[in-house]
Chains A and B, each alone.
Chain A
């Protein structure tokens, strides 16, 4: 696994380094050249968003490349590692970006806090931690579901396989969201709701789940989490079978 991860990183190293450099330069120029505080906040968040999107797309591209690459398919390496390696890469990159954002945000808030955010975080530490963990879980879950759609699309040897993949993706997400809802009665939490429920549509923001502050840990939430966990394991199993039996280079 670590060897695959190393080569996934190596192949993308130029791009990842580029993102880091551009991000740093952008933040520096924002700090040095801008005065309007609202504009600073908006543009800062925007640059983080763009970096986040690039870091999110990179492992997806890496995975779909690896599925077809001869030198990867020929390796005597278990297919599960083929799936997990790009997820790990994406997760590590986004985690680092998240940490930078957190530190940046914390510094910013201690210097000019004109909102109540820091106060709210300090009052509800458990909620904050759960929000962060849920963001991590959402990212991993999203990768797994997208990878499943890619794997299914790649297993099909016909022309419209790309669109089939996209349709499959939305069917999975909405179908599971519906099931989730049916089973656990609409706890305002969980990855599958993102695409089903437009109001809750930020991907990698740390401040995503502000409304989850109202929902502390409930039975529905744990049930929902277990449901997603079981689904993810099932997805991984299906993907391994597909890679071993159906995906052809």
Chain B
């Protein structure tokens, strides 16, 4: 099967500063991929480029062979670091918004996930706590039957209980033909749900490896490997 995501020598620069520098990356279907790096390493930039929020300065990028555009947007589901909702909305309105604009939105799955996440349809999104708000974001992103999911720091600012719920949901609700890319700097809590990890530092990919291989080859956890790469 062809790759879901293909990035060839992608560079993104702002003046003389590089947000991404000559990044090439290929992600196949059916994978949960960890995009690991500290803040400002280029994780969000990479995700925004795949979803069309940012344009590459150089290089080519395709999703299932398609260039980023209307067709690719219909196949990619993104959970960004800021709300996908508007302040007037209730949880119910947010769900309706997604249902109306995305043909692949699965309302049954969404209702199930709302219940699983203990979210109330009549709650206003503007009064949700940070943890609840992230749960809603995740519900919206995972309720689509997309080919590629991009989750930007899904467990960033939430308590351990919510974190467990979110990991559960990721494993339970993703489907096998698609892939998920999860960016995080909290490696230890989440490393066991990854197939592969991509280490990104100062806009460059320093390692792309299967996690079990890291454990077999180096006898190390991904977390230790991560610390080693960033300690240099």
Chain A contact residues, CB within 8 Å of chain B: 3, 7, 10-11, 13-14, 70-71, 73-78, 157, 244-246, 248-249
Contact = CB atoms under 8 A, between A and B. Distances in A.
Contacts of A246: 55
Contact of B85 (A3, A14, A71, A244): A71
Interface majority SS on B: helix, strand, loop or mixed?
A: loop
Interface in B68-103: 69-71, 73-74, 78, 80, 82-86, 88, 93, 97, 100-102
B53 A3 contact: no
Contacts of B14: 157
A70 B55 contact: no
Nearest to B14: A157
A10 B85 contact: no
B206 interface: no
A248 B55 contact: yes
Interface of B: 14, 48, 51-55, 69-71, 73-74, 78, 80, 82-86, 88, 93, 97, 100-102
A245 B97 CA distance: 25
B97 A74 contact: no
Given A70-B80, A71-B85, 18 more contacts: A3-B100, A3-B101, A7-B86, A11-B88, A14-B88, A70-B78, A70-B84, A71-B84, A71-B86, A74-B51, A74-B53, A74-B78, A76-B70, A77-B101, A78-B70, A245-B55, A249-B48, A249-B54
B53 A70 contact: yes
17 contacts: A3-B100, A3-B101, A7-B86, A13-B88, A71-B85, A71-B86, A73-B52, A73-B53, A74-B51, A74-B52, A74-B78, A75-B73, A77-B101, A248-B53, A248-B54, A249-B53, A249-B54
B167 to A, nearest CB: 24
A160 to B, nearest CB: 15
Contacts of B83: 71
Given A10-B88, A11-B88, A249-B48, A76 B73 contact: yes
Top 3 nearest A-B pairs (CB, nearest first) are A76-B74, A76-B73, A71-B84
